[in-house]
Amino acid sequence: MSHYLQHLETVRARFDEALTAQGLRSVLIYSGYPAVAFLDDNSYPFRVNPFFKYWIPVTESPRSFIFYEVGQRPRVFLHQPRDFWHAQPQLPPGEWRDAVDLTLIEGAQAVRGALGSDLSQTAFIGEGPEVIADWGLAAVNPETLINHLHYQRAIKTSYELECMRKANYFAARSHNAARDAFYNKASELEIHAAYLAAMKCRETQLPYNSIVGLNEHGAILHYDHYDVDAPSEHRSFLIDAGAYYNGYCADITRTYAAESTGFFAELVEAVDQAEQAIISAVEVGRSYYDLHVGMHRKIAQILKAFGFFKIDAETIYERGYTNAFFPHGLGHYIGLQVHDVGGYLKNAQGDAFARDARHPFLRLRRDVQPGQVFTIEPGIYVVDQLLEEFEGNEDFNWQRIGELRPYGGVRIEDSVLVTETGTENLTRNAFAAL
């Protein structure tokens, strides 16, 4: 049996378990629709419901449905409108078409008619519930059902891993194109264009807005402005950009120094080594929270080694100073979504970990298990807003911090698969395969 067919069996089993636990018989999943801009007739780019592409590798078919009844063959209703204004959605080839009962529809009422009169034990998952408002369904986006499914999704199937490896390969190839554009003194917009050209896609076909930051822009965590003109000097380059394959995501960050030697190049290397060291500490049963704290301690050591503080590394950590330089979490689950779901769920019943006051932006608290894929993405930045509260603090070496400010910051990010015996670095393997 192929990886996809095995995946489909796993998805069916997970839905059987979740639906039965909620006393439900079936589920209706809506792919979604492109929302129209306010006071306009143009639509925003379409993003498919993650649960829709969980079943089939179809990502560009709005107003479509999947109906699944426990123990039965999934039924797929793909919207094919009679519309001479736009290109008709193309059905992706593949074995998925033989694994489902496929019906082409022109509107939602065709689905209602095909499903029969009694949907009182059917849950709806998706946006736009007004489309099924009078269908008599049991529940719309029931939290308990979605929590159960989210908890299960943390363990990836072989098919999902296959898709994520390919997504990382395409992203790594495009990262190299962006790196080369940086070394050729391109502007941020030109670097972004080089990334898209290597990806052979439009901007809307990326999983998120790419971060393409030159010099001090590397300190803006979600920078996506893209200066049109190149700066007078290229000092540093931080790129956080991903890719899709069959709806599965890659999410890669790299930082480059314009000069191969010197202060900033050494800092990039130090963060890269610390990132790889924390990956080597990943083991089954360990809390991801412990990995996050361990990374903060490594960041404290780097801050001390590079002279950003006048005190020792342990004191830097204990006084909470690392949060000003490394404010975000160590990483997150990744898969159907870039920031994939279930990171705070303790179990399928929906019990959740509490947010930690010291590390409020950490997206993942669960213990490490085989089959999980998460990112590891430490960083060090000069974020003036975060440093304001420490103004005048003599523990800080403000002159040294000022030397880093023109470079913005450093972040290195890989996606890591947990195995029974260790890890597989999907991202570094992708770069090595180029």
CA distance 119 to 264: 62
What pLDDT is stored for residue 423 in this prediction? 98
CA distance 114 to 67: 10
Mean pLDDT of all residues in 86-111: 90
Band the pLDDT of 105: cuts 50, 70, 90.
very high
What pLDDT is stored for residue 173 in this prediction? 98
Res 206 pLDDT > 90: yes
Band the pLDDT of 32: cuts 50, 70, 90.
very high
Percent with pLDDT over 90 in the chain: 94
Res 135 pLDDT > 90: yes
Helix axes 143-152, 3-21, angle to 10 degrees: 150
Q: Start-end ranges of CATH 3.90.230.10 in the chain?
A: 158-433
* pLDDT tens-digit map of 301-345: 999 999 999 999 999 999 999 999 999 999 999 999 999 999 999
Mean pLDDT of all residues in 18-37: 96
Q: Start-end ranges of CATH 3.40.350.10 in the chain?
A: 3-152
CB 341 within 8 Å of CB 297: no
The per-residue pLDDT of the chain, averaged, comes to: 96
Residue 353 neighbours by CB distance under 10 Å? 15
CB 175 within 8 Å of CB 182: no
- Residue 310's alpha-carbon distances to 185, 209, 320, 396, 403, in angstroms, are 36, 38, 15, 6, 16
By CB atoms closer than 10 A (0-12, 13-18, 19+), residue 44 is exposed
CA distance 412 to 258: 16
Band the pLDDT of 1: cuts 50, 70, 90.
confident
Mean pLDDT of all residues in 106-122: 93
Res 140 pLDDT > 80: yes
Band the pLDDT of 93: cuts 50, 70, 90.
confident
pTM: 0.96
Band the pLDDT of 86: cuts 50, 70, 90.
confident
* pLDDT tens-digit map of 366-420: 999 999 999 999 999 999 999 999 999 999 999 999 999 999 999 999 999 999 9
CA distance 217 to 229: 14
What pLDDT is stored for residue 242 in this prediction? 98
By CB atoms closer than 10 A (0-12, 13-18, 19+), residue 84 is exposed
To the question of domain 3-152 being in CATH 3.40.350.10, the answer is yes
Res 88 pLDDT > 80: no
What pLDDT is stored for residue 82 in this prediction? 82
* pLDDT tens-digit map of 230-284: 999 999 999 999 999 999 999 999 999 999 999 999 999 999 999 999 999 999 9
CATH of segment(s) 158-433: 3.90.230.10
Res 193 pLDDT > 80: yes
Closest CA to 327 of 375, 396, 380, 255: 380
Burial 163-193 (b: 16+ CB within 10 A, else e): bbbbbbbbbbbbbbbbbebbeeebbbebbbb
Band the pLDDT of 90: cuts 50, 70, 90.
confident
CB 370 within 8 Å of CB 418: yes
**Cβ neighbours of residue 388 closer than 8 Å, sequence gap 6 or more:** none
What pLDDT is stored for residue 91 in this prediction? 81
Res 89 pLDDT > 80: no
Q: Is 166 helix (H, G, I), strand (E, B) or coil?
A: helix
Mean pLDDT of all residues in 17-41: 96
